Structure 1
Amino acid sequence: MKQPVSETESKLFYNQIWEHTGLSIGWRSLKNYSFYVLGNENEKQENPSIATLDALARYVLKAPYTNEVTRKNNEAHHPYWFLYRERYLEKVEVAPKAKNRFPVFAVLGIIILISGIALYWWYKSQAALSFTDDFKRTDEQSFQNKGWQVVNKNDEYWMKRNSLANSLTLFTLPGDNWPDTSSAPSIQNLLIRKLPQNCFKAELQMESFIPAGEWQQAGLLLLADSSLNSPSIRISLGYNDFFGGNQQPKEVIVQAISTPGNGEKPEEFIHFKVLAPDSAAEKPVLFGNLKHTALRIEKQGRHYRFLYAGGLTVNDAFKELAVKDLITEPRYVAIFALKGRVKDTPVVPVVIRKFILQQLPCD
């Protein structure tokens, strides 16, 4: 930083501290501290309390979330401030007492403040790279503010997106990006956002989606550009009863395909059976395996990992389904639900609980 924070910036900084620590430092105080550090005139003395220094230290050290009551009951000795002081400030040189213009705590507070502000601006710069949406708000403005765009909107079904509170409901509408010489690629109500980084983890969490008709599926789609004709990679939970003329039991699968784009033939590289509906009909408890479903794609350069988790609880462990090197360089990630180009397959809801996008190290 080269100048003190403005009122708006200090309010943003206040919110960041509160969201990460559960503790509050007044935005006016933060603004005053920044003027004390970086302003031209420092006539007014600033002496942060030990509690304030502890809150700033918690923010810098990424301490566990707490609140004022819990801290007062369990950590009234302000351990994180002293931990920070011991860990980082042992070699800080303070001018001789006769020449010292500021109290020691003020000097140390200034150091923590500068570190905190620097961390805040770093966090802000990374916000576009690490993103989580739990879909508690699904109004148009919220989607726009969070960087989502709805492509090929079907107004009738898009209006039903908030059918279930604290979630996004999509529907398995007609369409597909699977190449077909007789039909242009099209996916309705495709929720898409930019991928601003090369190495990332994208994760989708769904609830109680049990595909039961031909080509019904929902999942994640990576696109080289915003056109469905572009090279793409997708992973989805879907229904399958096509076995090239062979008689086999119907199945619910996790499928992953890569498509070169421009109408070229795709490659299926994951076909993982999750459930056999006919068997589950005789033992309905098996449908509990689809209570919670999570799909994840991890990308580091051209190296991709594809993972799946499913079961009765939201925290079931991920299973690695495939590791594959692909030349596709996606620029967009999308959430989709579709039923292919089959007219008779019912349209069913897909409840989306959470989407996570996180930056990964590329080394």
Structure 2
Amino acid sequence: MDELDRRAFTALFADVLETCFGHSLSEPLSESESKHLSNEIEEATGLVIGWRSIKNYAAFLRNPTSGRQENPSVATLDTLARYVLKAPVTTEAERKKNEEYFPYWFRYRESLKHSAQSMVSVAKPRKPIWSGWLMGGLILAAVSCLWLLRKPELQQMTDDFHSTDTSYLSQKGWVLHSPNAVFWNRRGQTPNRLTLFTLKGDNWHKTGEEPQIQNLLLQPIRNDCFRAEVHFTDFVPVANWQQAGLVLLEDTTFAGRSIRISLAYNDFFGGYVRPGEILIQAVASYGKGYTNLEEIAHKPLFQLETANDRRLAANNLKNFAFRIEKQGQKFRFLYSASPVDNFSFKEVATYEFSIKPKYVGIFALKGFVDSTAAMPVAVRYFRLDGEMCE
């Protein structure tokens, strides 16, 4: 590793720490911090760097004169750069096949090299004795600050599900979580739609049940502020607790915090006799160790007392959509329901919640219930846009 590579590695690892922890390295990383960072990198990139290696890198960069040398492989450097630059999730096999030239590491290194050269070019012909030291300090400052001050690359992704082949979904960045092979093999049963099913499970921590959403389709989130949108066709839930919608997750184990919004059916009213209803519900979960959800929104849309009520509900749910907008810790939830496409969105609720979601998922579920039928849910469109934070 030459001097440029070592300097770039130093800046890159500092940027990795800033991305994960929000601060630079002031103390050696503990074992738990190293494991957390290793898990974060694997979640964000799909690639693995062992926690012991991360701990050693941190120790070396904090005290590079200790005599111990660290020479991470180019593959490791590329993985760190992919984490910082918010590259698409991949696997070692896919990287070896499509990106064996490790583009993210070299892009990062070249950016630092160019920034240093541009700083040198502004030096004046007359140089005091101390100018070399000053210029060196300016170069180091530029290298350290460049990536903290850069504009984030805003994510833009859409999918109309004209294909549901696994290769197509993979190219679009989708990650399938908790697959149920029987129902996942039926995902293409509606032409030009992705078909999910309201299967048994839920993402909240119920006593005696493990949190799980079968055939949860996840899209990694690259930006802190974003807008996510999903459109359904002809989804009319008719039994407890059939529902479908969007979920935001801090991790894929459901140990962290989450927020979801769904179109659902309910006929439980605490002993009161009332007709069943189709409603919009938004809930927040604090994750593992918290069995009670926090309800953000509960908006009844249709009461299903008569056959005519059910007919009107089905007509108005022919085209249904959700949108979630995030700015900082503020979330805005919107919906659209109409017999025709491209109908206007209406706000359901705004809510402040301390969560930095890493994934947005399209889901269908029926809670931890065996008796309720598995109902098909046709997904027509999805969109995810990164936005500048205000």
Class of the TM-score when normalised by the shorter of the 2 chains: 0.5 to 0.7
- What letter matches 1:268 in structure 2? E
Check the 8 A contact 1:194/1:332 in 2, yes or no.
yes
- Residue aligning to 1:360: 387
* 1:254 and 2:280 are equivalent in the alignment: yes
Partner of 2:314, secondary structure, is helix
Check the 8 A contact 2:304/2:310 in 1, yes or no.
no
- Residue aligning to 1:269: 296
Within the candidate set 214, 218, 232, 1:188 is matched to: 214
- How many angstroms does 1:350 deviate by? 0.1
* 1:205 and 2:231 are equivalent in the alignment: yes
- Residue aligning to 2:344: 317
- The change in CA–CA distance for 1:181 and 1:286 in structure 2 (over 3 A counts) is closer
- CA deviations 1:304-360 (Å, max 9, x no partner) are 100010010111111101011111111111010001111110111000000010122
- What letter matches 2:272 in structure 1? N
- How many angstroms does 1:245 deviate by? 2.1
- What letter matches 2:259 in structure 1? I
- Residue aligning to 2:148: none
Check the 8 A contact 1:180/1:263 in 2, yes or no.
no
- Residue aligning to 2:258: 232
Within the candidate set 309, 334, 359, 1:332 is matched to: 359
Number of residue-to-residue matches in the alignment: 239
Check the 8 A contact 1:252/1:273 in 2, yes or no.
yes
In 1: Cα distance, 2:309 partner to 2:278 partner: 16
- The change in CA–CA distance for 1:246 and 1:263 in structure 2 (over 3 A counts) is farther
In 2: Cα distance, 1:138 partner to 1:215 partner: 26
Partner of 2:305, secondary structure, is helix
Check the 8 A contact 2:154/2:223 in 1, yes or no.
no
Partner of 1:271, secondary structure, is strand
- The change in CA–CA distance for 1:142 and 1:345 in structure 2 (over 3 A counts) is same
- CA deviations 1:210-244 (Å, max 9, x no partner) are 00011000000000112222210000001111222
Partner of 1:183, secondary structure, is coil
* 1:173 and 2:211 are equivalent in the alignment: no
- How many angstroms does 1:128 deviate by? 7.0
- Residue aligning to 1:350: 377
- What letter matches 1:310 in structure 2? A
Check the 8 A contact 2:222/2:386 in 1, yes or no.
no
In 2: Cα distance, 1:229 partner to 1:274 partner: 32
Within the candidate set 160, 163, 170, 1:137 is matched to: 163
In 1: Cα distance, 2:350 partner to 2:193 partner: 30
* 1:284 and 2:300 are equivalent in the alignment: no
Q: Rg larger in 1 or in 2?
A: 1
Q: Percent identity between the aligned chains?
A: 44
Partner of 1:142, secondary structure, is helix
TM-score (normalised: structure 2): 0.59
- What letter matches 1:292 in structure 2? N
In 1: Cα distance, 2:222 partner to 2:324 partner: 15
- CA deviations 1:231-267 (Å, max 9, x no partner) are 1000000111122222222100110000000131210
In 2: Cα distance, 1:311 partner to 1:354 partner: 15
* 1:306 and 2:333 are equivalent in the alignment: yes
Within the candidate set 132, 142, 155, 2:181 is matched to: 155
Check the 8 A contact 1:280/1:287 in 2, yes or no.
no
TM-score (normalised: structure 1): 0.64
- Residue aligning to 1:14: none
- What letter matches 1:296 in structure 2? R
- How many angstroms does 1:137 deviate by? 1.3
- CA deviations 1:153-203 (Å, max 9, x no partner) are 011100100001111000001111122111010110000121010110000
- Residue aligning to 1:221: 247
- The change in CA–CA distance for 1:128 and 1:145 in structure 2 (over 3 A counts) is farther
Check the 8 A contact 1:181/1:263 in 2, yes or no.
no
In 1: Cα distance, 2:378 partner to 2:154 partner: 25
Check the 8 A contact 2:154/2:385 in 1, yes or no.
no
- What letter matches 2:314 in structure 1? F
